[in-house]
């Protein structure tokens, strides 16, 4: 595991970068080897870390964020944390960045201390996250069920931006592989990877 105090060239989806001032965030990466997990279910590693992060936030800050597919923790659609995994052979490096203070927050983001109104110990947050992850790691069917139950994207109108097209419809499920199922009106589409925007219903 690697933990950083600050970040100047963090990597996100689609080559995006971000920075985090010193002391502002929990920044950690964990090397995992999920033996027995089929390649098309590896998104569940990301899901497991997101679930554990949400539980840690609840324990330490008294705040339970929603999970936005595929890799964000949000509070009222404001981004609190992001999770990203990279695969190399049988290894998965999964990283997380949780905004703890409001120092350097980008537009559309929020932070644990801002939402909870209390000071948050980053070390304790990491400790609780890892303890929860250790308890759920390997039980991938339960991870899929728990993630689906906690995913705020399910039931929402969404726009899904893929590499070669954009889908608009209602997210209706998360599959046992951790993929998003979207009703686009004429059929159901299963999305393994993409950027999701939660849309407001047309009044």
Predicted local distance difference test score (pLDDT) of residue 13: 52
Predicted local distance difference test score (pLDDT) of residue 8: 63
Rg of the chain's alpha carbons, rounded to an integer? 16
- Label residue 126 by pLDDT band (50, 70, 90): very high
Predicted local distance difference test score (pLDDT) of residue 47: 97
Predicted local distance difference test score (pLDDT) of residue 10: 57
- C-beta separation of 173 from 179 below 8 A: no
Average pLDDT over residues 130-138: 96
- Label residue 201 by pLDDT band (50, 70, 90): confident
Average pLDDT, the chain: 92
Nearest to 10 by CA among 104, 91, 141: 104
- C-beta separation of 114 from 75 below 8 A: no
> Looking at residue 171, which CATH number applies to its domain?
2.30.30
Instruction: Examine the domain organization and report whether 46 and 133 are in the same domain.
Output: yes
Q: What percent of the chain has pLDDT over 70?
A: 93
Predicted local distance difference test score (pLDDT) of residue 20: 78
166-184 pLDDT, tens digit each: 999 999 999 999 999 999 9
Instruction: Examine the domain organization and report whether 42 and 136 are in the same domain.
Output: yes
How many Cβ atoms are within 10 Å of 184's Cβ, its own excluded? 12
Which residues fall within 8 angstroms of residue 125, CB to CB, at 6 or more apart? 26, 56, 57, 60, 61, 98, 100, 112
Instruction: Examine the domain organization and report whether 107 and 19 are in the same domain.
Output: yes
Position with higher pLDDT, 89 vs 13: 89
Predicted local distance difference test score (pLDDT) of residue 9: 56
Is 141 part of a structural domain of the chain?
Answer: yes
Is 135 part of a structural domain of the chain?
Answer: yes
Which residues fall within 8 angstroms of residue 174, CB to CB, at 6 or more apart? 69, 144, 147, 148, 151, 153, 154, 180, 181
15-51 pLDDT, tens digit each: 556 667 788 999 999 999 998 899 999 999 999 999 9
Is 67 part of a structural domain of the chain?
Answer: yes
Predicted local distance difference test score (pLDDT) of residue 108: 93
Predicted local distance difference test score (pLDDT) of residue 36: 87
Predicted local distance difference test score (pLDDT) of residue 22: 85
Instruction: Examine the domain organization and report whether 71 and 166 are in the same domain.
Output: no
Is 203 part of a structural domain of the chain?
Answer: no
Q: Which domain holds residue 128?
A: 2-150
For the chain, the domain total comes to 2
As a whole number of angstroms, the distance between CA 114 and CA 127 comes to: 21
Q: Give the residue ranges of DSSP H helices in the chain.
A: 43-61, 112-116, 122-136, 140-150
Position with higher pLDDT, 11 vs 42: 42
As a whole number of angstroms, the distance between CA 176 and CA 197 comes to: 22
Burial state string for 86-107 with b = 16 or more CB within 10 A and e = fewer than 16: eeeeeebbbbbbbbbbeebbee
């Amino acid at each position: 595991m690697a933990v950083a105090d600050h970040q100047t060239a963090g990597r996100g989806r689609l080559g995006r970068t971000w920075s985090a001032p010193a002391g502002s965030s929990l920044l950690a990466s964990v090397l995992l080897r999920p033996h027995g997990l089929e390649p098309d279910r590896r998104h569940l590693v990301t899901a497991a870390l997101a679930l554990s992060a949400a539980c840690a936030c609840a324990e330490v800050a008294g705040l339970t964020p929603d999970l936005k597919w595929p890799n964000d923790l949000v509070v009222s659609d404001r981004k609190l944390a992001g999770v990203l995994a990279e695969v190399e052979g049988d290894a998965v490096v999964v990283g997380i960045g949780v905004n703890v203070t409001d120092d350097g927050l980008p537009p559309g983001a929020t932070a644990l201390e801002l939402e909870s109104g209390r000071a948050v110990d980053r070390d304790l947050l990491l400790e609780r996250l890892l303890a929860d992850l250790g308890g759920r790691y390997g039980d991938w069917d339960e991870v899929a069920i728990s993630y689906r139950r906690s995913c705020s994207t399910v039931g929402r109108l969404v726009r899904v931006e893929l590499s070669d097209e954009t889908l608009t419809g209602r997210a209706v499920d998360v599959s046992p592989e951790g993929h998003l199922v979207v009703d686009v009106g004429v059929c159901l589409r299963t999305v393994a990877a993409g950027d999701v925007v939660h849309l407001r219903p047309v009044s």
